[in-house]
Structure 1
Amino acid sequence: MIGWARYFGELNQLRRGWKWGKLMDMTIAEYESLVTRLERSAERSPGAYKAKVVGLALLGYSYIFGVLIVLLALVLGLGALVLIKPLLLAKIGFKLLIPLAVVIGVCAKAIWVRLGEPEGRALTPDEAPELFAELKRIRKDLGAPRVHEVIITDDFNAAITQVPRLGLFGWQKNNLILGLPLMMTLTLDEFRAVVAHEMGHLAGNHGKFSAWIYRLRMTWYRIKASFDDGQNASMLFNRFFNWFVPYFGAYSFVLARQDEYEADRSAAEVSGAQVAGAALVKTHVLGAYLGEKFWPKLFERNQREEEAPRRLFVEMHTELNASVESADAQMLLTQALQRQTGFDDTHPSLSDRLEALGVEAELPPPAEQSAGDVLLAGVHEGLTEEFSRAWHASVRRKWQEIHAESRSGRERLAELRELRGERELGDQELWQLATLTERFDSEEEALELFQVYLDTYPEDADGHYVVGRLLLSQDDEAGLSCLETAIEKNEAHTPHACRDAVEFFFRNDRRAEAQRWIDRHDVYQHRMAEARQERNTLKPGDTFFGASLEPEQLAQLRSQLDMYPTIEEAYIACKDVRHFKEVPLYVLGIVPHTGLFGGGEEVEELLPMILDEVEFPGETFVINLKDSDFSWLRTPLEQASGSRIL
């Protein structure tokens, strides 16, 4: 059915996504608490707070360069000793020089980390002189730095990025990214506000400082990822960066949040507060419309039409402009205004941003003449066709496969209907009949079939959820109790059930009653975030207990691990988790055979091979128990009941 697959999807813990364990020294709750305290500190004393952030940034630089200098000194010292006493130290010296050189290489690569260039279609001043003239005016008004490249994409978005050509040493390349669908739905004044917001991130002294901090924030994350993937450097860097990266992230988060308000003020300076507010509302609403309405309707066409649309972005522009005055847009605006500023995004909520601008939340009218019409005159039609052709080429094969699968589904639907006339269907057959009926025929008939299924299998959470969803789609309030039952039987239905309930209340102009479901969704999402954090970390103090695998599961796992001669011992246990205890989190501890100076490439390749080739009983960490970061883990694994499997 759908429930458990959705559960594991929500947890985002597919087995192949797991890496061998990594320590983090800050939980989500601790991070949020720290950010809250830092926001108060920054408000009381902005100058002192910025000085602390600078100090933290310099600490990161100092640690990397300090370690690199020490390593280089060791290499030079060993080289000198080998020259002085070649017979005594040559063998040991070279064996130490090689791993030291590898670690130095990892350090140098991390320091020279490069952020990737943004993808899209580069635009030249000759192609769009009006656009570049407008950008020049906005840049001059704000005192923003030069934009080195303008890139047009097929996204409903705008952004400015800085790519440091020299890694931590800087020398920035400024890229302005403009989404063609966005330009084709905004008025010229709204477009100015959006671009001014993006340029505002780099304008003035505050912009330069914020941009530097933002680049460092991204660079530290990339550097940590480099060290996480380089096992030879983990002993030297992981403990520091597991503390430093989230701590610096919290400090810089506060500045990034403040910078969003500064950028909004830049938008108001160029276009006026009312226009800046209108641009915020329109981008929020139409961005949500694309995700919740346009794309789902397009994929429904996939079932009926064998060929993908050839002029997708023409259709998109037309529908987005028409949707601004629709009931859907009003519902999406109401939902956006009810969302609160959180810790998962540096952007404040829409309501907080509008309040800071001093404007009311109103849906602006559709653009009679869009910014794209004015600023991309002569090229926007060509760009639209170019993006449409590229999209069509990228989805053509998959579109046809899905359409063929839909045709097979219709044939199966006819077969099941015929079988139902001959005999009683089994549970899987009845569920499939109801599902295919909803997909290809009528919701009303599908609801009747799902109700028959639920009468036969009243404990099935999926059945309660689908019946509830379909009842609400027909504005039958009885669907709410079905959703409650579905959640009670399987929490994985919470986000979807809450979404369906909120849409029902909004559609029936009962917005106040929707708040309970919105709050419920937020609580669940927060719990999910804590569960992800909990399931993505192993740390001293965690509790482990016996895995209690079925004999068949245990025999299968042993036989698979026996195929790796490098493994000396293996242990499996479960981590005791607070959230979703019904979904076990297994920890497989491997003790590889290593020589005096380590196991070399063979041991380094062992864990990725196990992750890729072994079939696990569920969500599983795979840990090298000889890794210095996880030496503490061997004792609790050994003490777990029945943990030794090799």
Structure 2
Amino acid sequence: MRTEQARRRLVQRLEQEAQQAPARYRLKLALLALLGYAVMGLALTMTLGVAALLLLYLLIVRPPAEPNIAIPILLLGAIGIVVLRALWFRFGIPDGHLLQPGEAPALRGEVERIGREVGAGRLHGIVINAELNAAAAYVPNGIGGWGQRQYLVLGLPLLQVLDRRELAAVIAHEFGHFHGGHGRFAGWIYRLRSSWYRLLHGMAGSGLSAGHLFGLFFRWYAPYFDAYSFVLARRHEYAADAVAAKVAKADAMAAALVRLGLAADWMERSFWPQVRESAHAQAYPPVQVYGRLGAGLREHRHSQLHAPGWLLLAEPGWDDTHPTLKQRLAALNVPAQVRLNAEPRTSAAESLLGSELAERLEQRFSGEWREAADADWRAHHQRLAGERQRLQELDSRAARAPAEAVEYAGLVEDHRPTADALPLYRQALEQLPSHALGQCRLGALLLKRGQPEEGIQRLQRALDLDSAVAEPALRSLDDYLRTTAEASAAFEAALALRARCAALAREPQADAPAIEADELLPHDLEPGQVQALTRTLGGYEKIARAWVFRKQAAGMSALPHYLLLVDWAGSVASESAGLERLAGQLRLPGSFSVLSATGGSDLVRHLKRQAGDPVYRRRR
């Protein structure tokens, strides 16, 4: 299975098999999982087991005559210890605030009540973090990850946007991942995957040639196990939704899904860009950003009373185990146009968490965000200052080259909101109609101005010139579709172009520009974009860490190009295939390249020397 297309075909076949013959599918997955454990057991037997037998033989039956006879025993023992350490798990609790005894008694009582209704086992703790999400977190502990602790993770923004009934559905959904044979089986699969990659990482880090022998098996085993477990994980989302519908009713789960989708969209397209906008005026990140976020979420939860059509446009991915909103609503037997409760109910944070604890968590998360964002924020502020300086320089010129005219229009749009950049774009593109980014930005501006026919034509022209503009074109089309009547001809035309942009955005950028080490700068991704990137990277258990850099652009309005450096967690079947698959899933606001940290090029060596804190680190 060397290509992503082959993986997709296998996943499609397995999804059909899991639907038509679930027992057969689960049996095949269990046998495939046991094969991995058999290889691990064989590794221990052939190393520590053989070393122990040789030692007993020498001590009891035949005392050694030569001291060199201890060399194979020591070598086998050393390899066995590497394998044993790789299989021994001691993980910390999930990141966030672990509720202490006496904290949030109402929330604890609600969680315990739902747990009893579901029939879930012991919960080792409740963690509140800063994400708009909830999770059933397994914390493996012991040989092969057999021992485990279970934590319920609830995001503070999630508590602020849902009411108590909707939160109950979400909690029941997460308990559905813990509960029953399905949850135990899925947890076993997850722990096996972690054990396997940990084993390979230990072998690779040891420098022993035995790791190459495991690599031969891994090249065959890993892609199939990944595809098989992917199908199970996606089916478990439906099963967990069914648990939520049974405990809290299907309409509550559907309303929670819609509210979370709307809130995530608002955060990514409105809240975080507004926060980022303040970098024009201040060189340091703002304080109390999570206090502002909480207030905005409480207000936003009353702004929508139904699921808009654009929220249902997402297509199922081949790397995201969560089905789309449309698929989940259909499985719940709820109409796509979900009606939300119009009553001004209090949020779950107000009724269950308490204002004192919520404010304390907002302060903590704001401080953590500010500290993490400081370096990138200052770099972004300096870049904006450079753009303003460049704008003044272009202002002073009596004549501008065609490329400079397009750049000038973009700078005016970005830094002079009261000025009209539309005629500047038109004039510049008359001189340089082949400028893809200029055509894209003009098309987006025309859509904002209510001129969809020409705007769509400009975006089509931009895609014809350079497929790398697919991502910004997709964002502008999504913004337009949010404000347009669904029955109009303009909506249908924009929807058709959106499908083309989405297909192009999923393709890896094969013609990425050459990059020199001195051209690289800190990335300028917004917090929402960083979160989306880390979610994508989190779907790959082979990735241990990742760093993002930005290529220094020739012009201030040029399309950005990013470089993602990936550090693999041990040996992988094919680094080139893994990079190709990852590139096909990335969503970055421009073109990008993906490199492996194991590469031997001068650029990779320079990046490894200069890399600071990674943008992503796998939790262990």
After TM superposition, the score normalised by the length of structure 1 is 0.72
Go from structure 1 to structure 2 and tell me whether the alpha carbon gap of 1:220 and 1:518 turns closer, same or farther (over 3 Å shift).
Answer: farther
Counterpart in the other structure of 1:52: 28
The answer on 1:149 being equivalent to 2:141 is no
Go from structure 1 to structure 2 and tell me whether the alpha carbon gap of 1:228 and 1:159 turns closer, same or farther (over 3 Å shift).
Answer: same
Q: Which shifted more, 140-149 or 477-486?
A: 477-486
Displacement, 1:606?
A: 9.8
Summarize deviations over 1:390-428 as a string: whole Å, max 9, x none: 3334435654554455345434423431x22xx323456
Q: How many residues align?
A: 521
Go from structure 1 to structure 2 and tell me whether the alpha carbon gap of 1:27 and 1:142 turns closer, same or farther (over 3 Å shift).
Answer: same
For residues 138-287 of structure 1, what are the structure 2 equivalents within 5 Å? 138-227=114-203, 231-232=207-208, 233-287=210-264
Q: Name the aligned partner's letter for residue 391 of structure 1.
A: W
Go from structure 1 to structure 2 and tell me whether the alpha carbon gap of 1:584 and 1:181 turns closer, same or farther (over 3 Å shift).
Answer: closer
* Contact 2:261 2:311 (8 Å CA) reproduced: yes
Q: Name the aligned partner's letter for residue 259 of structure 1.
A: H
* Contact 2:165 2:252 (8 Å CA) reproduced: yes
Go from structure 1 to structure 2 and tell me whether the alpha carbon gap of 1:335 and 1:83 turns closer, same or farther (over 3 Å shift).
Answer: farther
Summarize deviations over 1:325-356 as a string: whole Å, max 9, x none: 547x97x8423312233322111111111111
Displacement, 1:501?
A: 2.9
Displacement, 1:65?
A: 1.3
Distance of 1:529 and 1:171 partners within structure 2: 43
Distance of 2:169 and 2:292 partners within structure 1: 25
The answer on 1:112 being equivalent to 2:92 is no
* Contact 1:31 1:250 (8 Å CA) reproduced: yes
Counterpart in the other structure of 1:478: 454
Displacement, 1:178?
A: 0.9
The answer on 1:136 being equivalent to 2:107 is no
Alpha-carbon RMSD: 3.6
Counterpart in the other structure of 1:436: 411
Summarize deviations over 1:130-182 as a string: whole Å, max 9, x none: 11111110110001111112111111111111111114141111111111111
Q: Name the aligned partner's letter for residue 528 of structure 1.
A: P
Distance of 1:313 and 1:226 partners within structure 2: 39
Go from structure 1 to structure 2 and tell me whether the alpha carbon gap of 1:129 and 1:529 turns closer, same or farther (over 3 Å shift).
Answer: farther
Summarize deviations over 1:493-529 as a string: whole Å, max 9, x none: 1232233234334423244333322322343244339
Structure 2 gaps of 5+ residues are: 513-579, 585-590, 608-620
Greater gyration radius: 1
Distance of 1:529 and 1:464 partners within structure 2: 20
Q: Name the aligned partner's letter for residue 280 of structure 2.
A: Q
The answer on 1:406 being equivalent to 2:405 is no
Q: 2:497 aligns with which of 497, 517, 521?
A: 517
Distance of 1:224 and 1:518 partners within structure 2: 41
Structure 1 gaps of 5+ residues are: 1-24, 533-576, 589-604, 616-646
Q: 2:293 aligns with which of 316, 329, 345?
A: 316
SS in 2 for 1:507: coil
The answer on 1:288 being equivalent to 2:265 is yes
Go from structure 1 to structure 2 and tell me whether the alpha carbon gap of 1:514 and 1:71 turns closer, same or farther (over 3 Å shift).
Answer: same
* Contact 2:200 2:211 (8 Å CA) reproduced: no
The answer on 1:381 being equivalent to 2:359 is yes
* Contact 2:124 2:151 (8 Å CA) reproduced: yes
Displacement, 1:195?
A: 0.6
Q: Name the aligned partner's letter for residue 499 of structure 1.
A: R
Distance of 1:401 and 1:586 partners within structure 2: 22
Displacement, 1:184?
A: 1.1
Counterpart in the other structure of 1:537: none
SS in 2 for 1:201: helix
* Contact 1:26 1:243 (8 Å CA) reproduced: no
Q: Name the aligned partner's letter for residue 518 of structure 1.
A: R
Displacement, 1:375?
A: 1.1
Counterpart in the other structure of 1:635: none
Displacement, 1:29?
A: 1.6
Identity within the alignment, %? 32
Distance of 1:77 and 1:439 partners within structure 2: 73
Counterpart in the other structure of 1:392: 370
The answer on 1:445 being equivalent to 2:413 is no
* Contact 1:281 1:333 (8 Å CA) reproduced: no
Distance of 1:139 and 1:613 partners within structure 2: 51
Distance of 1:59 and 1:199 partners within structure 2: 29
SS in 2 for 1:238: helix
Distance of 1:607 and 1:70 partners within structure 2: 32
Q: Name the aligned partner's letter for residue 184 of structure 2.
A: K
Distance of 1:52 and 1:221 partners within structure 2: 21
* Contact 2:166 2:253 (8 Å CA) reproduced: yes
* Contact 2:37 2:192 (8 Å CA) reproduced: no
